[in-house]
Structure 1
Amino acid sequence: MNVDDLQWQLSHHGGVPRELVAALLERGCTELVAEAARERGDWCCAEGVVRELCAAGEFGRAWEVVEPFAATGWQPAVRVGADVLLRWGRIRQALELACPAEPAGDGFDEARAWRDYAEVLVRRGRIDELREHAGTDTFAALRPYVRGLEEAGSPGEAEAYLRGRIATSTYAGHYENALLELLGRQGRFEDAVAAVAHTFDNLHDGNLLQPVLLLLAEHGLHERALELTVGRSPEFHAENDEFWLRSNRWWLMGESGRSREAIAEIEALPPAGVHDRESTIAWLLARDGRLDEAIARLRSLLPGKGAARDLAGLLVRQGRYAEALAVVPGVAAQREEARNFWTRRG
């Protein structure tokens, strides 16, 4: 286990997929997933098991799982470890683990460390101290500060703070995204859409259309999300349709019971022009209840990481839990696949 592998898992969605971990844990496979965390050095498995054990009040076992990861100094693991210790009542140890050392490395690492420390302060109700940090490193402390106000019973103050920042900032993307999340947590989905709709045709990083689609889909509002993919500007379509928009639309159609319609759209396009064509069709087939057809398509695509992920999900649905986990390549194999991909592209 090392920081480089852990960071690669996080930045490349590597290791055992989160949705597979969640599905296995929902079916009582805690020990199977914990074993994968230990043997594979898999962060998704570790994080999922820790969450499960903490929910059951088994903080000592949760700390045993996360301690080797936190010991590397990797900030996401440090954050989870500090949370376990806090809930276990080991406050001093949590603060010692989470508090950043003297500044070292690049500014991004330092900001991330302060963000994690800010979250610990929120958990302890130390909002005044957090406000001091927010004054010197606003973006790192932004979300913890907003969540702290929410948890203190002042969501209106949090909303007013964000809207004020949006009104006075030259680059308001951080604040708009935080406002979207805040309104989503309150179930104010139409207010959330209205707050950021002006970004939907932007051709730069400030576009919040996809986060809105994900927010709506997370709450079962797939048809509303589909509506937002229609009527986008020609310039936006030219830049984004093939890249991500149409694949999101097919996903939303599958979630809305329109899998056959989505498959027909895909099959009407030149095969070479659709990224992950076979795995997308396989997913839609599964959504349409044609599980055997979906599995057959995915097996033909192994050992690719994407096909393995999707196949594992279908195997879980059939109760074949250990086989599902075994189908997923280890981190080293996934990294090799990624290197080979970029070598071919280069």
Structure 2
Amino acid sequence: MDASDLEHRARTRSGCIPPALVSRLLELGHAKEVERQALGGEWFCALEWARVLGGQDRQVEALEVLDPYLATGWWTAAAATAGLLEEWGRGEEAVALARTHMASARSYAETGGGLALESFARLLARNGLADDAFDLLRPHIDDWPLAHALIDIAQAAGRDEEAAGLLAARIPAGHECDSPWCCRGLEPHLAVGLLATVHERQGRVEEAVALLSTHQFTSVNGRDQLADLFARHDRIDELRAYADTEPLGYAAQRLAELLEERGDVDGAITVYRRVGQGSLRRGNTAVELARLLARHDRYDDAIEVMRTSVDAPGGAEDWIVDVLCTLYAEQGRQPDALAWLDDLKARRGKEEWELFWIRLPLMAACGRVDEAVELTRAHPEGTTSYAAEHVATLLADAGRTEDAVTVLEQYAPANTTTLAGYLIDLGRVKDALALLQHTHPPSPAVPTTRLWLDEPPF
């Protein structure tokens, strides 16, 4: 085994048996094959087999399975083994193992860099060594994921004040980034969010609100931190006022969620309707409103909301149409969904693949699988590998797995994982493994242009 080869296979999920198919092998009674592959260099088989053995109180055997992977010096194997030891109540051994592998690595990159530091620090903190974890991460405060971990760990270490000082030093007075290339290291708007988290944790809620209120960006990963803070502290009037001005609609979403939690469904509906047209994420707001209505069995209203959204200029995006058709399907109204798609196609004069595929499961639910297959083949993109995967899914869901395999085999090596899964379902395990495995990873591509630019445009 070679660490770089293992890393390549695990990261790209190529040339190996991926986790989902390892689980499928076990579910279908192929434990012996999983064990054999685990001993032959298949990392995901080894990890799952070790879990199985650990669950049978055979921890010594489980660790023996992982030993050859650990011997390569591969950090991922060390982290996974430490995780199992921790699950088994052997936290001190987990820390010792991870510490040894961190110390023996010849370079920062060899451990996986920041990901390794973060996972090791969190392991330390979970096992009573939060001070050590804080000290480990402190020099890396300018790295966003490590800064986030540092703030999480600061509470357990009793060092919130120190963490707050580190963050405050990275927020220039009155500074606002005017371009994505403005700041290096931990950007001020990220530091603001983390510092507000610390202040709230310390009970300094007013300071957290003031800090977030004076900054331009408080939304990260689909949530608005200021809105969430108002909701946690039952400051609903401030949340209402903020929802009226926050342009992305995340604050309105949080307000609607809070009202729904309190049983004020009509109030939540009103919030979405009021901000919907003015939101920069109008389609997302419509979807949230429709899902709220559906949760309370108001499907006709939900469908009307989505139809209005689709009919708006630029509204017939595939994901919006998919939500509408899903609402129809949840009511058992697949024929109505198909009729609506037919009408949309007639109005547009064509049906791109992004919209066409949505009709396939609807047809299958109406018992029209063969018709759906023929319709797909007649589509301008019906002979592509991605179309083949949709056809195979229709056939397999109808219990025609052999036919699904026949379709996908014509496009190999595309859709390899899907095809291998169907072969496993048919008991053709050796064929599936032959499809998945190869001896060496492909040679890295030679770039013809610079891979990284630090000036706009990228």
Q: TM-score range, shorter-chain basis?
A: 0.5 to 0.7
Q: 2-side partners of 1:128 and 1:251: how far apart? A: 56
Q: 2-side partners of 1:257 and 1:43: how far apart? A: 39
Map Cα deviations across residues 283-340 of structure 1 (whole Å, 9 max, x no partner): 23212322221121123334x1633x223212332344444334423252x637x97x
Question: Counterpart of 1:31 in structure 2: which amino acid?
Answer: K
Mind listing any 5+ residue stretches in structure 2 that lack a counterpart?
156-196, 202-207, 226-249, 255-275, 289-298, 322-352, 449-458
Mind listing any 5+ residue stretches in structure 1 that lack a counterpart?
150-156, 179-190, 213-222
Residue correspondence of structure 1 range 46-125 to structure 2 within 5 A: 46-88=46-88, 90-99=90-99, 100-101=102-103, 104-106=107-109, 109-125=112-128
Q: 2-side partners of 1:251 and 1:92: how far apart? A: 55
Map Cα deviations across residues 106-136 of structure 1 (whole Å, 9 max, x no partner): 5993311211212322442545654565663
Q: CA shift at 1:262, angstroms?
A: 7.3
Q: 2-side partners of 1:18 and 1:146: how far apart? A: 29
Greater share of helix residues, 1 or 2?
Answer: 1
Q: 2-side partners of 1:108 and 1:74: how far apart? A: 7
Q: Among 135, 141, 145, which residue is 1:139 paired with?
A: 145
Task: Name the structure, 1 or 2, with higher relative contact order (CA <8 Å, separation 6+).
Answer: 1
Q: Aligned residues, how many?
A: 289
Question: Counterpart of 1:121 in structure 2: which amino acid?
Answer: L
Q: 2-side partners of 1:237 and 1:288: how far apart? A: 29
Cα gap change, 1:91/1:17 in structure 2, threshold over 3 Å: closer, same or farther? Answer: closer
Contact 1:305-1:328 at 8 Å conserved across structures: no
Confirm or deny that 1:312 pairs with 2:318.
Answer: no
Q: Secondary structure at the match of 1:54?
A: helix
Q: Percent identity?
A: 24
Q: Which has the larger radius of gyration?
A: 2
Cα gap change, 1:107/1:317 in structure 2, threshold over 3 Å: closer, same or farther? Answer: closer
Q: 2-side partners of 1:11 and 1:115: how far apart? A: 18
Q: CA shift at 1:236, angstroms?
A: 11
Contact 2:385-2:411 at 8 Å conserved across structures: no
Cα gap change, 1:331/1:107 in structure 2, threshold over 3 Å: closer, same or farther? Answer: closer
If the length of structure 2 is used for normalisation, what is the TM-score? 0.48
Q: 2-side partners of 1:235 and 1:321: how far apart? A: 45
Partner of 1:328: 436
Question: Counterpart of 2:394 in structure 1: which amino acid?
Answer: L
Map Cα deviations across residues 136-164 of structure 1 (whole Å, 9 max, x no partner): 35513746976999xxxxxxx99x77x98
Q: Secondary structure at the match of 2:112?
A: helix
Cα gap change, 1:298/1:143 in structure 2, threshold over 3 Å: closer, same or farther? Answer: farther
Map Cα deviations across residues 257-285 of structure 1 (whole Å, 9 max, x no partner): 58959757754642278552223321232
Contact 1:75-1:116 at 8 Å conserved across structures: no
Q: 1-side partners of 2:372 and 2:212: how far apart? A: 38
Q: CA shift at 1:23, angstroms?
A: 0.6
Contact 1:299-1:311 at 8 Å conserved across structures: yes
Residue correspondence of structure 1 range 1-346 to structure 2 within 5 A: 1-14=1-14, 15-39=16-40, 41-88=41-88, 90-99=90-99, 100-101=102-103, 104-106=107-109, 109-127=112-130, 129-130=132-133, 136=141, 139-140=145-146, 142=148, 170=217, 173=220, 194=253, 234=314, 246=354, 253=361, 260=369, 266-267=376-377, 269-271=379-381, 274-302=384-412, 304=413, 306-307=415-416, 309-332=417-440, 335=442
Q: 1-side partners of 2:220 and 2:411: how far apart? A: 39
Map Cα deviations across residues 209-228 of structure 1 (whole Å, 9 max, x no partner): xxx9xxxxxxxxxx99xx99
Contact 2:121-2:134 at 8 Å conserved across structures: no
Q: 1-side partners of 2:24 and 2:114: how far apart? A: 33
Q: Secondary structure at the match of 1:270?
A: coil
- Which range moves more in the overlay, 69-78 or 133-142? 133-142
Q: CA RMSD in A?
A: 5.4
Q: 1-side partners of 2:150 and 2:33: how far apart? A: 33
- Which range moves more in the overlay, 25-34 or 71-80? 25-34
Contact 2:121-2:133 at 8 Å conserved across structures: yes
If the length of structure 1 is used for normalisation, what is the TM-score? 0.60
Question: Counterpart of 2:23 in structure 1: which amino acid?
Answer: A
Question: Counterpart of 2:145 in structure 1: which amino acid?
Answer: F
Q: 1-side partners of 2:6 and 2:224: how far apart? A: 26
